[in-house]
Amino acid sequence: MTTRLPSRPRFATVLLLLTVLVLASACSWVGWDWDTPMSTVMPKSDFGKMTHEIFMLISWWTLGIFILVEGALLYCCWRFRDRPGAPIPKQIHGNTPLEVSWTIAFAVILLIFVIPTIRVIFKTQEAPASTALRVEVVGRQWWWEFRYPGLRITTANELHLPVGQTVAFHLNAPDVIHSFWIPQLGGKRDVVPHRVNQLVMTPDTPGEYPGQCAEYCGMSHANMRFRVVVHPKGEFEQWVKAQQAPPVEPTDALAQQGKTLFAQSACVGCHAISGVSAGVLGPNLNHFGSRKMFAAGLMATTAENLTKWIENPAHMKPGALMPNLGMKGEQSKALAAYLLSLK
Ligand code: CUA
């Protein structure tokens, strides 16, 4: 007499299905735009769209294969299950026609993936047109420098681009390997010391997109973020004009005091401000006050955050190379007021 397992309680199956339903409903497709800004499934550039198409092609095919294989498995489990008194089934070993056909079928499926993948790899590695906007991206521990050599602009942690214009990013790192990634536009592409990598794309939708270093690069790797603003037609030129203009003289007394303090302290050794200093180790601070975030996207540019940052950078951002210069009270407030005045 054979002993049989007791059938599982039905409520366990229902519970499992409900759990799956709840977990699956956590992924909403509508709303990717705003509640999941690091998503790659709603691409906003030609580069993003090309790579996304390959991702979807592979996803649909593998979903089909999954359903076929799991379906066959479940069917066989049910169809050939043990029954009381059933004889031992016929024992078989191998089936050449079947094995040859699924080997060929999978080789064909791989070819379906490989051909468009290679095409996109070559397409995204093409030399940019001479009309492309050249942006030099420098990945540093732990912030981003963006230089527009044709426009004579250097900025940090905030990248501005015109919609519909091809951009050629030239990526380089003076310290360790980083990776340049704007999930909604494209990347990731490694930023490697002693070589210049290239990434070419054309953003097609105005908006603000977060960027992130995607290669572990040390203590504050997670704090190596940046903000990308894709401007509608005409607006980019305004930004360029504002950035090319020299920073305005501070008008209020506290900010003026901050300017004097800045010019007399060690700040000038690392930071550049037109007409004041020419340091290159830290972010260029021309028009610092026009940037929404600072310290590589860590904090909003407010007087309060800035004062805290000046007083103890390493506390705000672990491993930050900016030293604590012992600025306190009125001094840090004055410096913050000066930096905020640099619109
Ligand atoms: Cu730079 Cu991670």
Give residue-wise pLDDT tens across range 153-193.
999 999 999 999 999 999 999 999 999 999 999 989 999 99
Strongest mean pLDDT among 3-7, 10-14, 125-129, 223-227:
223-227
Write down the pLDDT at residue 10.
78
Whether pLDDT at 251 is above 80: yes
Q: pTM, whole model, 2 decimals?
A: 0.84
Contact 54, 117 (CB under 8 A): yes
Whether pLDDT at 150 is above 80: yes
Among residues 190, 222, 242, the one where a domain terminates is: 242
Is residue 172 a part of any domain in this protein? yes
Please give the structure tokens belonging to residue 99: 């094995």
**211 CB within 6 A, ligand 1:** no
Of the candidate ranges 18-22, 78-82, 214-218, 245-249, the one whose mean pLDDT is the lowest: 18-22
- The fraction of the chain above a pLDDT of 90, given in percent, is 77
271 in the same domain as 238 = no
207-213 vs 225-231, strand pairing mode: antiparallel
CATH (domain of 177): 2.60.40.420
Reported as a pLDDT band with limits 50, 70 and 90, residue 37 is confident
- The fraction of the chain above a pLDDT of 70, given in percent, is 94
Is residue 11 a part of any domain in this protein? no
225 in the same domain as 257 = no
Atom of ligand 1 at shortest range from CA of 141: 1
How many domains does the chain contain in total? Answer: 3
Whether pLDDT at 203 is above 50: yes
Report CA(43)–ligand 1 centroid distance (Å): 23
337 in the same domain as 258 = yes
| 262 alpha carbon, distance to own chain's centre | 33
CATH (domain of 56): 1.10.287.90
Whether pLDDT at 8 is above 60: no
Mean pLDDT score, 57-82 = 95
**Among 205, 198, 41, residue whose Cα is nearest residue 128:** 198
Contact 181, 213 (CB under 8 A): yes
Is residue 2 a part of any domain in this protein? no
d(CA 65, CA 71): 10
Write down the pLDDT at residue 289.
93
109 in the same domain as 146 = no
285 in the same domain as 236 = no
**221 CB within 6 A, ligand 1:** yes
Is residue 31 a part of any domain in this protein? no
Is residue 4 a part of any domain in this protein? no
Reported as a pLDDT band with limits 50, 70 and 90, residue 23 is confident
Is residue 18 a part of any domain in this protein? no
Is residue 32 a part of any domain in this protein? no
**Among 141, 193, 138, 137, residue whose Cα is nearest residue 321:** 141
In one-letter notation, the amino acid at residue 292 is K
**259 CB within 6 A, ligand 1:** no
CB contact set of 167 (below 8 Å; sequence gap of 6+)? 132, 133, 135, 161, 200, 201, 202, 203
What residue's CA is closest to ligand 1, atom 1? Answer: 178
**Among 163, 171, 103, 164, residue whose Cα is nearest residue 134:** 171
137 in the same domain as 122 = no
Report CA(180)–ligand 1 centroid distance (Å): 8
Report CA(84)–ligand 1 centroid distance (Å): 63
Question: What range defines the domain where residue 44 resides?
Answer: 40-82+96-126
Is residue 301 a part of any domain in this protein? yes
227 has which bridge partners?
Answer: 158, 210
Report CA(145)–ligand 1 centroid distance (Å): 13
Report CA(162)–ligand 1 centroid distance (Å): 26
Among residues 242, 267, 300, the one where a domain terminates is: 242
Whether pLDDT at 342 is above 90: yes
221 in the same domain as 145 = yes
Among residues 106, 126, 146, the one where a domain terminates is: 126
143 in the same domain as 236 = yes
182 in the same domain as 122 = no
**Among 292, 161, 291, 343, residue whose Cα is nearest residue 235:** 161
335 in the same domain as 236 = no
133 has which bridge partners?
Answer: 167
Reported as a pLDDT band with limits 50, 70 and 90, residue 46 is very high
